Amino acid sequence: MMCTRLGSSRLRLLSARLTSTASSGVLRVSDKPPDLLAASLAFEDPSAFRVKSLKELCRALAVFRFCSFPVLVNNCHKLMSATRGVLGRRAFSSLMRCTVYAQFVAGENEEEIARSMEKMSTVGLRPMLAVPIEEDLGESTGEERYNENMEAMMECVQMSHSNAWSKDPMMQLKVTALLSPELCVKLTKVISKRAYDLDLLVRAMDGEDVKFPGLEESDAAHFRCSLRRLNRIAEASVKKVRVLVDAEYTYINPALSIVTMAMMKKFNKDGAWIWNTYQCYLKETRTLLQEAISQSQEGGFCLGVKLVRGAYMDKERKLAVKEGRPDPVQDSWEDTNENYNSLLAVMLKLIAQDPERYRIIVATHNEESVRQAAKWVEELGLDKARGSVSFGQLLGMCDHVSLTLAKEGYAVYKSVPYGSVDDTLPYLVRRAQENQTVLMGIRKERDLLRQELRRRLSLRRRREEHSGLS
């Protein structure tokens, strides 16, 4: 399954350059000036927003303006509760539906979602549906609720692959919607002391009544049920939908990762259908990714990687101080950027050698990383549309990047939450509070939206003037 698009000498040269980049954290692959591709990915053209209606332009500007104030984002819950109290539930729901909900959510039912996805597909964007269900410590709801969450995930699988707008679809999955965070904490502590064999988890997925060392029987029983839930979702997804498992907090990530790697070992024999997420704002991420690469090579399964910068920095640092342990977060934003781009280089080198065994989604709103990834894809001669390297951004954000990439022929996904206003608002509030740095940094997107709005209004005024003259 070696890549045949590159001559062997060229591949060795580019791999050497990428290896150097990966070890040093240096961004540039070579010293040559930016080529035509780099120029075309300047992300400065407001024409990317011409697919949006006047109403959508105005809504985006209003929502982004609100999100640019940290004090408003940090107090979303209080503001929404107060607004709901003044307006009443129905009027509040209507207000949210035409503002925040309409900006970031695809819809409540399959018909509304289909309309949103069909519109996306016309401009070359692909869906990554996200069921807005997750739990944190103290929020566990019991086996019945976890089973209901599983059914919601199964509906997401079905909806993702059964529609005309579904081209190599993806979906997001949070393990904590199916496995209690409390048990994830216990598992993390257990596997830090003893290694769990992936085959043990695979046997549990298959329904075998296995024993888990270090867990009490009640916890082991819940773990077995959760693994079977995950198994059902994975069985329904293989060869239909790529399931991207989200990373969460460091105190549960080891448990999430071992579950995900077990799913990979079982279901990724002939392709990357289960993917794991790697958070580059954490110091340990390089080691974790290298371990995953080794496991996939030794286990003979394909590796899918969602590469993100991460969103839980403040909470992680506060927890580290509270617990008296070293800060797990990179020392600076620059260190996070270097880590992101060097791990991107590691994955692209592997993909150039074997684009079927390895896949990555460059899940970032950072224009420099996007531009760098696109440049490397070009230099390595990788097929843009194949999807071994794809890009991802949130629905309703960074559209100037997403639409430009799609226009250039890349596989571009939008993370698409869906559901009722009541179900999605808590999810949106969490995402907004976790991504405040991104939200405060959308000035450029707002400027491009304003340029397109001014162009649209000027064009309308000229038409009206011309109509008056005639």
Which pLDDT belongs to residue 215? 94
Count CB-CB contacts under 10 A for residue 308.
20
DSSP state of 108: S
Least Cα distance to 294 among 253, 256, 356, 350 occurs for 350
Which pLDDT belongs to residue 468? 66
Which pLDDT belongs to residue 48? 76
Give the span between the Cα atoms of 439 and 432, in whole angstroms.
Answer: 7
Q: Where are the domains of the chain?
A: 133-267
- CB neighbour list of residue 324: distance below 8 Å, 6 or more residues apart: none
Look up the pTM and report it.
0.87
Side chain identity, residue 387: G
Q: Would you call 393 helix, strand, or coil by DSSP?
A: strand
Give the span between the Cα atoms of 301 and 202, in whole angstroms.
Answer: 13
- CB neighbour list of residue 293: distance below 8 Å, 6 or more residues apart: 303, 346, 350
307 forms bridges with which residues in the sheet?
A: 278, 362
Question: pLDDT per position in the chain (470 positions), as tens?
Answer: 333 334 444 444 444 555 554 444 433 433 333 444 444 577 887 777 888 889 999 999 998 888 878 888 888 888 888 998 999 989 989 999 999 899 999 999 888 998 888 888 888 899 999 998 866 666 667 899 999 999 999 999 999 887 766 688 999 999 999 999 999 999 999 998 877 899 999 999 999 999 999 999 999 999 999 999 999 999 999 999 999 999 999 999 999 999 999 999 999 999 999 999 999 999 999 999 999 999 999 999 999 999 999 878 888 889 899 989 999 999 999 999 999 999 999 999 999 999 999 999 999 999 999 999 999 999 999 998 788 999 999 999 899 999 999 989 999 999 999 999 988 888 888 777 766 666 656 788 888 899 989 998 888 888 877 776 65
* Enclosing H/E stretch for 96: helix 89-97
363 forms bridges with which residues in the sheet?
A: 392
